[in-house]
Amino acid sequence: MMTFPCLDTGRLDAAAKELQQVLAGRPLVTAGRFTTALRTCYTGPAALESLRPALSIGCYPAWTPARPGVVLAAEDRTRVRSTPERHGWLARVRHDAARHLLALDQPPVITAWHTTTHLRELAGAHSTITAIDGGLRDAIEAKHVFDDLLRAAGVPASVRIPCVHAERLPGLAELRGAVGTTTVVVQAGVTSPGPGTVIVAGEDDLPRAARLLGPYRVAAFVDGWSSSVTVLSVPADNGVRVYVDRPSHTSAGVAELGIGPARSAGEDWSRPWPAGVSALIIACAERIADWAWRRYRIAGMFGLEAIVTPDERVYLNAINWRAQDTTEVSAVNQQLRGLPPFILAHLAVMLGGQVTWLGDPDEFNQGTIARSGRTGGPFSVKARLTHRAPSRIDPGHPPGIYRLDRDGRLRHVRPGAHPAEADSDRGEILLADLPGPDVVCRPGAEIATIEGLTGGGHSPFDGPRSASGFTVRVHTALHRLFRPCSPAEEDH
224-273: pLDDT as tens digits: 999 999 999 999 988 999 999 999 999 999 988 989 888 899 999 999 99
150-173: pLDDT as tens digits: 999 999 999 999 999 999 999 999
183-210: pLDDT as tens digits: 999 999 776 555 689 999 999 999 999 9
More confident residue, 193 or 449: 449
Query: Considering only 31-45, 54-68, 161-175, 179-193, which range has the smallest mean pLDDT?
Result: 179-193
**pLDDT higher than threshold 60 for residue 434:** yes
The DSSP symbol for 132 reads E
Burial of 479 (0-12, 13-18, 19+ CB in 10 A): middle
What pLDDT score was predicted for residue 1? Answer: 60
What pLDDT score was predicted for residue 141? Answer: 93
The DSSP symbol for 452 reads E
Is residue 305 within 8 A of residue 227, CB to CB? The reply is yes
Q: Which one, of 419, 400, 401, lies nearest residue 331 by Cα?
A: 419
Is residue 263 within 8 A of residue 280, CB to CB? The reply is no
The DSSP symbol for 61 reads P
What pLDDT score was predicted for residue 194? Answer: 55
347-359: pLDDT as tens digits: 999 999 999 999 9
Number of H helices and number of E strands within the chain? Answer: 16, 26
What pLDDT score was predicted for residue 55? Answer: 98
**pLDDT higher than threshold 70 for residue 34:** yes
What pLDDT score was predicted for residue 334? Answer: 96
pLDDT (average), residues 428-432:
97
Share of the chain above pLDDT 90, in %: 87
What pLDDT score was predicted for residue 5? Answer: 81
**pLDDT higher than threshold 70 for residue 491:** no
For 431-461, what is the HEC assignment?
EECCCCCCCEECCCCEEEEEEEEECCCCCCE
Kindly give the pairing relationship between strand 466-467 and strand 377-384.
unpaired
What pLDDT score was predicted for residue 456? Answer: 62
368-411: pLDDT as tens digits: 999 999 999 999 999 999 999 999 999 999 999 999 998 999 99
What pLDDT score was predicted for residue 84? Answer: 94
Mean pLDDT (the chain) is 94
pLDDT (average), residues 270-297:
97
What pLDDT score was predicted for residue 457? Answer: 67
What pLDDT score was predicted for residue 486? Answer: 81
What pLDDT score was predicted for residue 492? Answer: 58
**pLDDT higher than threshold 90 for residue 325:** no
Distance CA 483, CA 253 (A): 25
Q: Which one, of 29, 51, 26, lies nearest residue 39 by Cα?
A: 51
User: CB 237: neighbour CB atoms within 10 A?
Assistant: 5
Dihedral sign for Cα 320, 117, 384, 335, please. positive
pLDDT (average), residues 108-134:
93
pTM, rounded to two decimals: 0.95
Is residue 467 within 8 A of residue 257, CB to CB? The reply is yes
- In Å, how far are 100, 160, 282, 464 from 223, measured between CA atoms? 49, 14, 21, 9
What pLDDT score was predicted for residue 191? Answer: 60
Burial of 145 (0-12, 13-18, 19+ CB in 10 A): middle
Q: At what angle do helices 134-141 and 275-296 cross, to 10 degrees?
A: 130
pLDDT (average), residues 60-69:
97
**pLDDT higher than threshold 70 for residue 484:** yes
Single-letter residue type at 158: S
Distance CA 300, CA 323 (A): 10
**pLDDT higher than threshold 80 for residue 487:** no
What pLDDT score was predicted for residue 455? Answer: 80
Query: Considering only 76-85, 117-126, 311-320, which range has the smallest mean pLDDT?
Result: 117-126
